[in-house]
C-alpha cells in the first residue's frame, strides 16, 4: 500500500518540475506577495491598536498562507514535507509541550495577582502572549499548520483507500499468501472448494485472471478512520469561525435595569435576580458563613421595542435568542443565536442585586457539534470494524494455498479462518461417508 503511495508521489513531483512550472511559480509568487502585504499592513494596524478588534485569528491565517506560498516558491518538496507523518508528530509534540507549560503559567486573569508582574521581563512576556498563549498568534499558527498537514494527509489517505476499495489487490503470488499472518495449505483441494468453504460468510469474492482469488469483507473500513481524523478539521474550522466572527462580553445589570447588548440591536432587561443560600458549617458544627446554592435571573430580551424572549436563566440553563430578521436557515443551524449565560452576581451600593451575564455569539458551533459526532462515531468504528482479506490459489505442487489477514479484531478473524479451514479439511470425510 505504501509502495503505491510512494510511486504516486514521485510521478507527481516530476510533473511539477516541468517547464509549465513557470506559470505556477508566477501564481505562487503573486500569492506570496499578497499575503505578505496583507500580513504586514494588518500586523501594523493590530499592534498599534491593541484594544481594537481581535485580529489574531486572521493574522495567524495570513501567516499560514504566507508560509505555504513561500514554501511553494522554493520548489517541489513542499507537498511531501507537508504531508509527512514526521511533520505531524513533530508539531503534535511541540504543541503538547507548549500546552503543558501553558497550564503551569498563570493565565491573563490570574497574572495580575501573581509574582510574575515583578519579573523584569514581564512586559516582554506579556507582549509575546505568554499569559494568553493558547490564543496567541504563534500558537494559532502552529495549530493551523497542523490542520494543513492533517488536510493533506486525509486527502492522500482517502485516495489510497478508495483506490484499494475499488481495485483490491486480487492477483497475488503463492509466496505472498504463504507470508500472511494466517496461512495453511490443502493438498488436492481446488479454488471451488475454497469458494464453497467461504460461502455464507458474506465475503465478497474477486477472481484474478492468473487464478488467484480474494475473499474480502469491510473494504471501506478504513473510511471510518478517515472520518475520525476529519472530525478534527470540523472542530478546527468551527473554532476558527467562532474565533474570528464570534464575540464574548460581560453585562452588569442591576435588578429592574435594561442595557444594550453590544454588537447587536438587542436590549436586555433583568426583571429580578434571585439567590438561595445555605449555611456553611465549621468543624464544630457552627455556622461559619453562607454559600450560594442556586441563583437565577429573570431576563427579557427586546429589539425595537418588541419582546423576543423572556426566560429565567440559571448557571446550567442559558438562554439562546435569535435576533429579529435573522436568516431562518441560519437560525435553524444555530449560527445566529446570541447566548445569555448566568455568570455571577453582585450587590450594588443601594443594596439591590445585580446580575452578571456572559453574552456571546459563537458561530460555527454546529460544525463543532458535528465534529464531536464524527469523532465519537469514527473512533468507535475505526477500532472495531475490521478489513478482512483471505487470498487463495493453487500453487506449483497442486495444493490449495490459503492465507489471510485482518487489521482489527484478530481473534474473531482467527475463528473465521479456522472455520474455513475446517470446511476445507472436513469435506473428504463427508464424501467418503456418502460413498460407504
Partner 1 sequence: MLNTDNLVIAEEILFIATVITYLVSSVLYIWHLVTRNRRAVVMGFVLLALGLVAQTASLLLRWYTSGHAPMSDTYESLSLFAWGVVLAFIITERFYPVKSAGAIVVPSAFLISLVALIFYEDPADLVPALQSYWLWIHVSIAMIAYGLFALAFGAGFFYIVQEYLLKKQYENVKTAFVLLLAGLGAVLGLWFGSWWSEPEMVIDAAGNPDKIYAGIDIIKIIGSLAVGLLLGLILGSLAGRGAARPAFSTRLPSLDVLDEVSYRAIAIGFPMLTIGIATGAIWADIAWGRWWGWDPKETWSAITWFYYGAYLHTRLTLGWRGRHSALIAVTGMAVVLFTYFGVNFLLSGLHAYA
Query: Under the criterion CB under 8 A, does residue 291 sit at the interface with partner 1?
Result: yes
Query: Under the criterion CB under 8 A, does residue 356 sit at the interface with partner 1?
Result: yes
Query: Under the criterion CB under 8 A, does residue 134 sit at the interface with partner 1?
Result: yes
Query: Under the criterion CB under 8 A, does residue 375 sit at the interface with partner 1?
Result: yes
Task: Tell me whether residue 40 or residue 376 sits nearer to partner 1 (CB atom).
Answer: 376
Q: Quick one: which of 56, 137, 189, 365 contacts partner 1 (CB under 8 A)?
A: 365
- Per CB under 8 A, which region of 142-150, 285-293, 387-395, 421-429 contacts partner 1? 285-293
Task: Tell me whether residue 45 or residue 384 sits nearer to partner 1 (CB atom).
Answer: 384
- Per CB under 8 A, which region of 19-27, 259-267, 298-306, 336-344 contacts partner 1? 336-344
Give backbone dihedrals phi and psi of 205, rounded to 5 degrees, phi first: -100, 130
Query: What is the end-to-end Cα distance of the chain in Å, rounded?
Result: 50
Cα gap 34→40, rounded to integer Å:
10
What's the grid cell of residue 161? 483507500
The nearest distance, CB 43 to partner 1, in angstroms, is 24
Query: Under the criterion CB under 8 A, does residue 92 sit at the interface with partner 1?
Result: yes
Q: What is the dihedral of CA 49, 50, 56, 60, to 10 degrees?
A: 70
Spell out the residues 6+ positions from residue 99 whose beta carbon is closer than 8 angstroms to its own.
134
Helix ranges, 385-409 (H): none
Cα gap 314→336, rounded to integer Å:
22
> Which conformational region is residue 314 in: left (phi greater than 0), alpha (psi within -120 to 50 degrees), or beta?
beta
Query: Under the criterion CB under 8 A, does residue 158 sit at the interface with partner 1?
Result: no
Contact string (CB under 8 A) for partner 1, positions 220-249, x = contact: -------------------x--------x-
| 3-state SS, one letter per residue, for 173-219 | CHHHHHCCCEEEEEECCCHHHHHHHHCCCCCEEEECCCCCEEEEECC
Q: Quick one: which of 14, 127, 383, 422 contacts partner 1 (CB under 8 A)?
A: 383
Locus of grid cell 431576563:
299
Query: Under the criterion CB under 8 A, does residue 21 sit at the interface with partner 1?
Result: no
Where does this chain bind partner 1 (CB under 8 A)? 92, 96, 99-100, 102-104, 107, 110, 134, 239, 248, 278, 291-295, 314-318, 339, 341, 343-346, 356, 358, 360, 362, 365, 368-369, 372, 375-376, 379-380, 383-384, 407-408, 411
Amino acid at each position: 500500500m505504501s509502495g503505491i503511495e510512494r510511486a504516486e508521489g514521485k510521478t507527481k513531483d516530476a510533473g511539477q518540475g516541468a517547464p509549465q512550472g513557470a506559470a505556477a511559480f508566477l501564481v505562487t509568487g503573486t500569492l506570496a506577495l499578497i499575503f505578505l502585504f496583507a500580513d504586514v499592513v494588518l500586523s501594523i494596524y493590530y499592534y498599534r491598536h491593541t484594544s481594537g478588534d481581535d485580529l489574531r485569528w486572521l493574522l495567524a491565517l495570513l501567516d499560514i498562507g504566507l508560509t505555504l506560498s513561500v514554501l511553494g516558491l522554493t520548489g517541489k518538496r513542499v507537498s511531501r514535507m507537508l504531508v509527512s507523518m514526521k511533520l505531524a508528530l513533530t508539531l503534535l509534540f511541540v504543541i503538547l509541550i507548549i500546552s503543558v507549560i501553558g497550564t503551569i503559567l498563570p493565565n491573563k486573569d490570574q497574572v495580575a495577582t501573581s509574582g510574575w508582574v515583578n519579573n523584569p521581563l514581564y512586559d516582554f512576556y506579556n507582549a509575546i502572549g505568554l499569559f494568553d498563549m493558547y490564543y496567541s498568534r504563534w500558537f494559532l499558527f502552529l495549530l493551523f499548520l497542523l490542520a494543513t498537514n492533517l488536510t493533506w494527509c486525509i486527502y492522500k489517505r482517502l485516495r489510497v483507500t478508495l483506490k484499494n476499495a475499488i481495485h483490491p489487490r486480487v492477483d497475488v503470488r503463492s509466496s505472498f499468501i504463504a507470508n500472511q499472518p494466517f496461512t495453511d495449505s490443502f493438498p488436492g483441494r481446488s479454488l471451488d472448494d475454497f469458494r464453497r468453504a467461504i460461502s455464507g460468510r458474506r465475503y465478497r469474492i474477486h477472481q484474478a485472471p492468473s487464478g488467484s482469488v480474494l475473499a474480502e469483507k469491510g473494504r471501506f473500513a478504513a473510511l471510518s478512520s478517515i472520518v475520525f481524523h476529519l472530525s478534527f478539521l470540523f472542530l478546527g474550522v468551527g473554532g476558527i469561525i467562532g474565533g474570528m466572527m464570534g464575540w464574548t462580553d460581560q453585562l452588569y445589570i442591576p435588578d429592574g435595569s435594561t442595557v444594550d447588548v453590544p454588537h447587536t440591536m438587542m436590549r436586555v432587561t433583568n426583571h429580578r435576580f434571585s439567590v438561595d443560600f445555605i449555611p456553611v458549617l465549621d468543624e464544630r458544627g457552627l455556622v461559619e458563613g453562607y454559600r450560594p446554592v442556586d441563583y437565577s435571573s429573570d431576563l427579557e430580551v427586546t429589539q425595537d421595542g418588541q419582546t423576543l424572549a423572556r426566560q429565567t436563566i440559571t448557571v446550567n440553563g442559558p438562554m439562546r435568542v435569535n435576533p429579529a430578521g435573522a436568516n431562518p436557515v441560519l437560525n435553524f443551524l444555530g449560527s445566529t443565536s446570541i447566548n445569555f449565560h448566568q455568570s455571577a452576581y453582585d450587590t450594588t451600593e443601594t443594596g439591590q442585586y445585580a446580575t452578571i451575564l456572559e453574552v456571546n455569539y459563537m458561530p460555527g458551533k454546529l460544525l463543532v457539534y458535528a465534529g464531536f459526532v464524527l469523532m465519537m462515531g469514527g473512533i468507535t468504528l475505526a477500532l472495531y470494524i475490521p478489513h478482512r482479506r483471505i487470498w487463495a490459489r493453487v500453487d506449483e505442487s497442486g495444493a490449495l494455498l490459503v492465507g489471510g489477514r485482518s487489521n482489527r479484531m484478530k481473534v474473531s478473524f482467527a475463528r473465521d479462518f479456522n472455520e474455513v479451514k475446517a470446511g476445507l479439511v472436513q469435506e473428504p470425510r463427508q464424501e467418503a461417508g456418502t460413498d460407504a
